[in-house]
């Protein structure tokens, strides 16, 4: 079931439930996805209310062991062999280094999302299996490389500036997407909590994209959507050219 993908978050049909940012459990915010519904992630526009629910993930080392077990069940083919081996190596290495008590909960939830993608695709078509394996491999390699450099599972500050003609311009809403989720449908962009420029968010290492939007004379103007690998630096910085 596609809804497995975010099993640690609550369903949120419009006007009846609350949405929470899966990467920032300390404070609920508006417009953050909570589940997959109808092939897309929902649900921008839902309002938040009340205290945030418990979003404690399973121990990250257990999740990594399940990732290894899951990829070992994939059929071996020319399209999957290298990705299966890469995921197995990175997950095994991380399981031997990460500390369950010191790893941020958001990191653990994100790793569990990688696991859910792999488990769901295991029953899909060969093309979907191959694509999911490639996406998860890119994501988990970034986590692997970041942990090698910093010695722990951590959240990474992603700082974005919106620029025009070499100068910062403010008032743009910046959004990010976690790219591996594309395997299960449309991924709704998630907003940074303040307007540019600059603006920042803390995320688990992984594969993301960012885009800036702004209303100009009653019309929405959007920048190009730029891929950004998050990790490997204390702070990852990116400039987005805007109109």
- Cβ neighbours of 84 (radius 10 Å): 22
Spatial distance between the Cα atoms of 121 and 1, rounded to a whole number of angstroms:
10
Q: With contact defined as beta carbons under 8 Å apart, do 132 and 118 qualify? A: yes
**Residues facing residue 158 across a β-bridge:** 201, 236
Q: What does the alpha-carbon distance between residue 41 and residue 200 come to, in Å, rounded to a whole number?
A: 22
CATH top class, domain 156-241: mainly beta
Q: What predicted TM-score, i.e. pTM, was given to this entire model?
A: 0.77
C-alpha dist (Å) from residue 173 to 18, 126, 222 = 22, 38, 10
**The pLDDT value given to residue 216:** 85
pLDDT digits (tens, 9 = 90+) for 156-179: 999 999 999 999 999 999 999 999
CA-wise closest residue to 5 among 140, 124, 115, 116: 116
Average pLDDT, the chain: 81
Question: Where do the DSSP E strands lie in 78-234?
Answer: 156-164, 167-168, 173-178, 190-191, 199-203, 206-216, 219-222, 226-230
Residues 209-222 pLDDT 10s: 999 999 988 899 99
- What b/e readout covers 151-167, taking b as 16+ CB neighbours within 10 angstroms? eebbbbebbbbbbeeee
The DSSP element (H or E) to which 133 belongs, if any, is: helix 126-150
Percentage of residues in the chain having pLDDT higher than 90? 70
Cβ–Cβ under 8 Å, residues 192 and 208: no
Whether the predicted pLDDT of 29 surpasses 50: no
- Helix H or strand E encompassing 237: strand 235-241
pLDDT for position 242: 94
Band of pLDDT at residue 4, cut at 50, 70 and 90: very low
Residue 103 tokens read as: 């790893």
Beta-carbon contacts of 220 under 8 Å, excluding residues fewer than 6 positions away, are 213, 214
Look-up of token digits 């390699």: 141
pLDDT digit string, tens, across residues 119-137 = 999 999 999 999 999 999 9
């Amino acid at each position: 079931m596609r809804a497995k993908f975010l099993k640690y978050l609550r369903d949120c049909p419009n006007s009846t439930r609350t949405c929470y940012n899966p990467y920032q459990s300390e404070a609920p915010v508006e417009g953050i996805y909570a589940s997959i519904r109808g092939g897309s992630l929902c649900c921008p526009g839902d309002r938040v209310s009340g205290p945030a629910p418990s979003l404690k993930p399973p121990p990250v080392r257990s999740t990594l062991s399940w990732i290894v077990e899951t990829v070992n069940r994939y059929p071996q083919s020319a399209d999957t062999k290298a990705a299966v081996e890469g995921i197995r190596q990175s997950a095994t290495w991380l399981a031997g280094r990460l500390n369950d008590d010191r790893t941020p909960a958001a990191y653990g939830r994100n790793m569990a999302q990688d696991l859910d993608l792999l488990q769901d695709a295991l029953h899909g078509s060969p093309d979907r299996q191959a694509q999911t394996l490639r996406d998860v491999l890119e994501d988990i390699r970034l986590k692997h490389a970041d942990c090698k450099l910093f010695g722990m599972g951590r959240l990474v500050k992603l700082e974005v500036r919106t620029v025009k003609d070499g100068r910062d311009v403010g008032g743009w809403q910046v959004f990010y997407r976690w790219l591996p989720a594309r395997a299960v449908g449309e991924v709704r962009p998630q907003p940074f909590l303040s307007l540019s420029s600059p603006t920042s968010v803390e995320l688990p290492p992984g594969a993301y994209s960012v885009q800036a939007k702004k209303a100009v004379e009653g019309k929405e103007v959007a920048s190009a959507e730029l891929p950004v690998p998050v990790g490997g630096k204390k702070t990852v910085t990116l400039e987005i050219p805007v109109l």
